[in-house]
Amino acid sequence: MKLFIIFLVFLIFQRVSELLLARKNEAAVRKMGAVEFDGSGYRAIVLMHAAFFISLVTEYALLGRSVNGHWPFLLTVFLLTQALRYWSILSLGKYWNTKILVVPGTLPVTRGPYKYIRHPNYLAVIIEIAVIPLIFSCYITSALFSAINLIALRRRIRIEESALHECTSEKAPTA
């Protein structure tokens, strides 16, 4: 239980820090004329992530879950995913955000992992949502929220690609 709580506190600290960075970045790009897309979809994603944490804690506590026997492998996957996540965030710089904000007339970022994959940060989120619960044998949370997240991200990527295509100097490929 102690390891679960430590890991949970780390994740919450990480997410709150990222929300603070997103707010700072949002202010910077709005000054540059950024346009927001899909505000209602953003609220749904925030709700989904909150429900993910509630489900994780509930499944762990109520169903008496424990650390998975394969935790070293799963933790390694999680740590590699964090490297991809922060490489993505650093590569986007002030353009990284939890909202879909596009500055008209700019070019899409093509450095860092964006040189190799269109949405590396979303790939990291997909892996996290699946792996975090598995570390603690929370199979229901992993399966349920992996499915919900894939549906939400499919919609979000379609909207983001459309926004990039509409607003940036270099037309982005369609999803």
Using one digit for the tens of pLDDT, what is the confidence trace for 13-40?
A: 999 999 999 999 999 999 999 999 998 8
Q: How many domains does the chain have?
A: 1
Q: Would 12 be classed as within a structural domain?
A: yes
pLDDT at 149: 97
Q: Would 135 be classed as within a structural domain?
A: yes
Helix (H) or strand (E) holding 35: strand 35-37
Question: What is the pLDDT confidence band of residue 7, given thresholds at 50, 70 and 90?
Answer: very high
| pLDDT, the chain, mean | 94
Q: Would 99 be classed as within a structural domain?
A: yes
CATH of the domain at 36: 1.20.120.1630
pLDDT at 172: 45
pLDDT tops 80 at residue 56: yes
Q: Which domain holds residue 46?
A: 2-167
Question: What is the pLDDT confidence band of residue 132, given thresholds at 50, 70 and 90?
Answer: very high
Q: Would 175 be classed as within a structural domain?
A: no
Question: What is the pLDDT confidence band of residue 171, given thresholds at 50, 70 and 90?
Answer: low
pLDDT at 169: 65
**pTM for the full predicted model:** 0.91
Q: Would 139 be classed as within a structural domain?
A: yes
pLDDT at 168: 80
DSSP conformation class of 100 = E
pLDDT tops 70 at residue 130: yes
Q: Would 37 be classed as within a structural domain?
A: yes
pLDDT tops 90 at residue 173: no
Residue bearing the bigger pLDDT, 175 or 29: 29
Q: Would 173 be classed as within a structural domain?
A: no
Read off the pLDDT of each residue in 128-141 and give the average, rounded to a whole number.
98
Of 33, 170, 17, which Cα lies nearest the Cα of 95? 33
3-state helix, strand, coil in the chain (%, to 5): 75, 5, 25
Asked whether 128 and 81 are in contact (CB, 8 A), the reply is: yes
d(C-alpha 84, C-alpha 48), whole Å: 22
Q: Would 119 be classed as within a structural domain?
A: yes
Which residue(s) pair with 101 in the sheet? Answer: 36
Asked whether 100 and 152 are in contact (CB, 8 A), the reply is: no
| AA letter at 100 | I
